[in-house]
Structure 1
Amino acid sequence: MNYLPLTPPGETPTRVMTIAGTDSGGGAGIQADSRTFAMLGVHACVAVVAVTVQNSLGVRGFHEIPVDVITGQIEAVAGDIGIQAAKTGMLASSEIISAVAQTWQRLDTDAPLVVDPVCASMHGDPLLHPSALDALRHELFPIATLVTPNLDEVLLITGIDVVDAASQKDAARALHALGPAWALVKGGHLRSSSHSPDLLFDGTDFHEFDAQRIDTPHDHGAGDSLAAATACALAKGYTMPDAVSFAKQWVTECLRAAYPLGGGHGPVSALFRLANP
């Protein structure tokens, strides 16, 4: 695959922020985002919104960071270092979602915002209080450049159960109607297909991205990695379809390089890039 252009050594690289929760097992969340940022030659900035207690077997709990600390992290970085794109992950509660949305609007920035609406872990453990769904729909989605839900999240947010290409288009329309500039309905969980079809919609045109499904049980952090790679490509000036196409290739290679870890699901691996400079 063709990688993003790298900044020459000694020059300030592209800066992208992840606004998300930590993963104590290192497979997803801020840890996965930061690995993708680093392997793509991007400087990772971080706003921690929650600390999770988890491993490869599941999430045992999480602790929310105080809202003023979350907003302070975003504002401190934006006011000094600068943010050329950002992506969100686990945001935990309606209060945190509202604070992040309001802070982003106060920045008055043209930087793209990729929203990965993390509602539950891959094991089904809740990572978002049920009351926060409305805050996602009505406060964060309207200011998002792109939203990237998986099919379980699509069902929670829109009520649409995606089972085929037609319902995937219905879901994309429903997501776009909530306000983001672009909606991406990921097809990784569409088990009726031997492929992983993703569908991007801008309110007028559909863009389809397909890849052979990688046969691995180790897919922890795949959604984080795709959203992070998309944010990196957008920060580098890619158009949205080109950014999503790049991210789709990136996460496919991360899945191909996934490894076992602990007694449960291992993570996708951005470390494959170390062998493919």
Structure 2
Amino acid sequence: MNYLPLAPIGSTPLRVLTIAGSDSGGGAGVQADLRTCNLLGVHALCAVTAVTVQNSVGVKDFHKVPGDVVAAQIEVVCDDIGLQAAKTGMLASSDIIEAVAQSWHDHGAGIPLVVDPVCASMHGDSLLDHAALDSLRAELFPLATLVTPNLHEVRLLVGIDVVDATTQADAARALHSLGPQWALIKGGHLQGSASSTDVLFDGNDFHEFETPRVDTGHDHGAGDTLAAATACALAHGYTVPDAVAFAKAWVTECLRAAYPLGHGHGPVSAMFRLQP
């Protein structure tokens, strides 16, 4: 695949901010975002929203960072370092979501924002209560350049079970109606076909991104990695469709390079980038 251009040695690279939770197992969350950014030649900034107690088997517990502390992390890096794009991951509560939204009103004008609405586990269990889901829809989605839910999250957010291409398009329309500039309905969890097709919608036109389905049981962090790679491409000035196409190719290679870890789901791996 073609990679993003690298900054000359000694010069300041482009910067992407991840606003997300920490994964103690190192497979997803901030850790996955940092790996993605670094291996794509982008300097990663972070605002940690939660500290999770998790491993390859699942999330055992988590501690939420107060919303004002999340907002302060965003403020200091925006004021001092600056950034070209941002993405969100686990936001954990209404308080944090509202703090991020206000921070973006204050500091994010003109900066692309990818919202990965982490509100369901890979098993489909809800990770946000109804109030927090409402805050996502009302406060954050209207600020988003792109929203990238998985199919479990689509069901929680817009009440549509995606089972085929028709319902995938219906879900894209419903998600876009909540205010983001673009809505991406990922097809990785839509089983029964030899390919994985993601559908992108801007209110007028649909774009489809199809790749062969990778046969692996190790896909932890795939959504985080896709959103982070998209943000990196947007930082380089890619259009949203081109950024999604790049990220789709990137995460497909990460799935091919995924490895077992612990007793559960291993992570997708961006370390293929280090191979000759």
Give yes or no for TM over 0.5: yes
1:171 correspondence with 2:171? yes
**Aligned equivalent of 2:135:** 135
**Aligned equivalent of 1:61:** 61
1:122 correspondence with 2:122? yes
Range that drifts further, 123-132 or 174-183: 123-132
1:206 correspondence with 2:210? no
Q: Aligned pair in 2 of structure 1 residues 191, 177: CA closer, same or farther (>3 Å)? A: same
Range that drifts further, 118-127 or 155-164: 118-127
* Root mean square deviation of aligned Cα: 0.9
CA distance in 1, matches of 2:62, 2:248: 29
Cα displacement (A) at 1:122: 1.7
**Aligned equivalent of 2:254:** 254
**Aligned equivalent of 1:147:** 147
CA distance in 1, matches of 2:51, 2:99: 17
Specify the code of the residue in structure 1 equivalent to 2:59: V
Residue pair 2:21, 2:30 contacting (<8 A) in 1 also: yes
**Aligned equivalent of 1:80:** 80
Unaligned runs of 5+ in 2: none
Residue pair 1:113, 1:144 contacting (<8 A) in 2 also: yes
Taking the TM superposition and a 5 Å limit, the aligned residue runs for 1:37-48 are: 37-48=37-48
Q: Aligned pair in 2 of structure 1 residues 166, 126: CA closer, same or farther (>3 Å)? A: closer
The 3-state SS of whatever aligns with 2:130 is: coil
* Paired-residue identity, %: 73
Cα displacement (A) at 1:191: 0.5
Residue pair 2:124, 2:152 contacting (<8 A) in 1 also: no
Aligned length: 276
CA distance in 2, matches of 1:212, 1:242: 19
CA distance in 2, matches of 1:201, 1:108: 23
Scaled by the length of structure 1, what TM-score is found?
Answer: 0.98
Cα displacement (A) at 1:194: 1.7
Cα displacement (A) at 1:126: 4.3
Residue pair 1:48, 1:65 contacting (<8 A) in 2 also: yes
Specify the code of the residue in structure 2 equivalent to 1:141: F
| Deviation string, structure 1 residues 14-53 (Cα, Å, up to 9, x no partner) | 0000000000000000000000000000000000000000
Cα displacement (A) at 1:200: 0.4
Cα displacement (A) at 1:192: 2.3
Cα displacement (A) at 1:120: 2.3
Cα displacement (A) at 1:68: 1.2
Specify the code of the residue in structure 1 equivalent to 2:179: G
The 3-state SS of whatever aligns with 1:183 is: strand
CA distance in 2, matches of 1:183, 1:163: 17
Unaligned runs of 5+ in 1: none
Cα displacement (A) at 1:193: 1.8
Residue pair 2:116, 2:223 contacting (<8 A) in 1 also: yes
Q: Aligned pair in 2 of structure 1 residues 217, 169: CA closer, same or farther (>3 Å)? A: same
**Aligned equivalent of 2:21:** 21
